[in-house]
Amino acid sequence: MSGNQRDDQDLANTPLLAPVDEGRRRFLAGSAMLGAAGMAGAAGVAGVGALTRSPAAQAAAGDAANIHVNPGELDSYYGFWSSGQSGEVRVLGVPSMRELARIPVFNRCSATGWGQTNESLAVLGDSARFQNGDLHHVHMSCTDGKYDGRYLYANDKLNTRVARIRLDIMRCDKIVTVPNAHSIHGLRVQKAPKTGYVFANGEMIVPMPNDGRHLDDPDQYWSVFTGIDGESMEIKWQVWVDGNLDNCNADYSGRFAAATCYNAERGVTLQDKMRFERDWVVVFDIHAIERAVANGDFLNIEGCEVPVVDGRGDNNPFTRYIPVPKNPHGINATPDGKYLIANGKLSPTCTVIDTHRLPDLFDNKIELRDTVVAEPELGLGPLHTTYDGRGNAYTTLFIDSQVVKWNIEDAIRHYAGEEVSYIRQKLDVHYQPGHLNATLAETAEADGQWLVVLSKFSKDRFLPVGPLHPENDQLIDISGDEMKLVHDGPAFAEPHDCIMCRPDQVRPTAIFNRDDPFWAQARQWAEEDGVNLETDSKVVRNGNKVRVYLTAVAPQYGLNEFRVKQGDEVTVIVTNLDRIEDLSHGFAIINYGVSMEVNPQQTSSVTFTADRAGVYWFFCTWFCHALHMEMAGRMLVEPA
Ligand code: CUK
Ligand code: CUA
Ligand code: CA
Please give the average per-residue pLDDT across 310-323, as a whole number.
Answer: 96
Sign of the C-alpha dihedral computed for residues 283, 286, 287 and 288 taken in this order: positive
Q: Transcribe 115-155 into DSSP letters.
A: TTBHHHHHHHGGGGG-----B--EEEEEETTEEEEEEEEEE
pLDDT at 316 > cutoff 60: yes
pLDDT at 8 over 90: no
Give residue-wise pLDDT tens across range 230-281.
999 999 999 999 999 999 999 999 999 999 999 999 999 999 999 999 999 9
Instruction: Decide: 175 in ligand 2 pocket, CB within 6 A.
Output: no
Q: Rounded CA gap, 439 and 103, in Å?
A: 21
Which of 242, 166, 233, 156 is closest to 205 using CA atoms?
242
Q: Is the pLDDT of residue 44 over 90?
A: no
Using 50, 70 and 90 to split pLDDT, how confident is the model at 92?
Answer: very high
Is 29 a residue whose pLDDT tops 70? Answer: no
Q: How far apart are CA 139 and CA 498, in angstroms?
A: 8
The more confidently predicted of residues 56 and 144 is: 144
Dihedral through CA 569, CA 572, CA 573, CA 578, nearest 10?
A: 180
61 three-state secondary structure: helix
Nearest atom in ligand 1 to the alpha carbon of residue 384 is: 6
- Note the pLDDT tens digit of each residue in 12-28: 333 333 333 433 334 33
Spacing, Cα 435 to ligand 1 middle (Å)? 6
pLDDT for the residue 22: 35
pLDDT band at 562 (very low <50, low <70, confident <90, very high): very high
- pLDDT attached to residue 67: 76
The residue with greater pLDDT, 25 or 407, is 407
Q: In the predicted model, what is the mean pLDDT of residues 292-314? A: 97
Q: How many residues does the chain have?
A: 640
User: What is the sign, positive or negative, of the torsion defined by CA atoms of 62, 66, 67, 68?
Assistant: positive
pLDDT of residue 593: 98
- Gap from CA of 591 to ligand 2 centroid (Å): 19
Question: What is the CA(186)–ligand 1 centre distance, in A?
Answer: 8
Q: How far apart are alpha carbons 90 and 449 in whole angstroms?
A: 21
- Considering every ligand atom shown, identify the ligand nearest to the alpha carbon of residue 553 and give its number: 2
Alpha helix positions (H), 465-607: 520-529
In the chain, the percentage of residues whose pLDDT exceeds 70 is: 90
φ, ψ for residue 359 (rounded to 5)? -60, -40
Tell me what the mean pLDDT of segment 393-414 comes to.
98
Q: Is residue 513 predicted with pLDDT exceeding 70?
A: yes
Q: Taking residues 95-99, what's their average pLDDT? A: 97
- Residue 94's nearest CA partner among 472, 501, 458, 471 is 501
Q: How far is the CA of 494 from the centre of ligand 1 (A)?
A: 10
Residue 625 CA: nearest ligand 2 atom is 2
496 C-alpha vs ligand 1 centroid, how far in Å?
Answer: 5
Provide the pLDDT confidence category of residue 60 given band limits of 50, 70 and 90. very low
pLDDT tens per residue across span 157-201 = 999 999 999 999 999 999 999 999 999 999 999 999 999 999 999
d(CA 370, CA 24): 30
Atom of ligand 2 lying closest to residue 623 CA: 2
Nearest atom (ligand 1) to Cα of 137 = 5
pLDDT tens profile 570-585: 999 999 999 999 999 9
In the predicted structure, residue 52 carries a pLDDT above the cut 60: no
State how far the Cα of 390 lies from the Cα of 410, in Å rounded to an integer: 13
- The pLDDT value given to residue 579: 97
Whether residue 490 has a cis bond before it, omega within 30° of 0: no
Q: How far apart are CA 83 and CA 136, in angstroms?
A: 7
Distance (angstroms) between ligand 3 centre and the Cα of 207 equals: 20
CB of 637 closer than 6 A to ligand 2? no
Ligand 2: which residue has its CA nearest to atom 1? 585
The model's pTM is 0.91
- 110-133 mean pLDDT: 98
pLDDT digits (tens, 9 = 90+) for 521-545: 999 999 999 999 999 999 999 999 9
The preferred substitution site among 138, 435, 455, 471 for testing ligand 1, maximizing ligand atoms within 8 Å of CB, is: 435
Looking at every residue in the chain, the average pLDDT score rounds to 92
pLDDT of residue 68: 83
Going by pLDDT thresholds of 50, 70 and 90, the confidence category of residue 6 is: very low
Determine what percent of the chain is predicted with pLDDT higher than 90: 89
Lining residues, ligand 1, CB within 6 Å: 136-137, 185, 247, 329-330, 383-384, 434-435, 496-497
Bridge partner residues of 78 (DSSP):
93, 501
Q: What is the reported pLDDT for 485? A: 97
Confidence category of residue 633, pLDDT binned at 50, 70, 90:
very high
HSE, side-chain direction, 13 A CA sphere, residue 484: 16
Would you say residue 217 has pLDDT above 90? yes
- Report the nearest atom of ligand 1 relative to the CA of 330: 6
Question: Is the model's pLDDT at 223 over the cut of 90?
Answer: yes
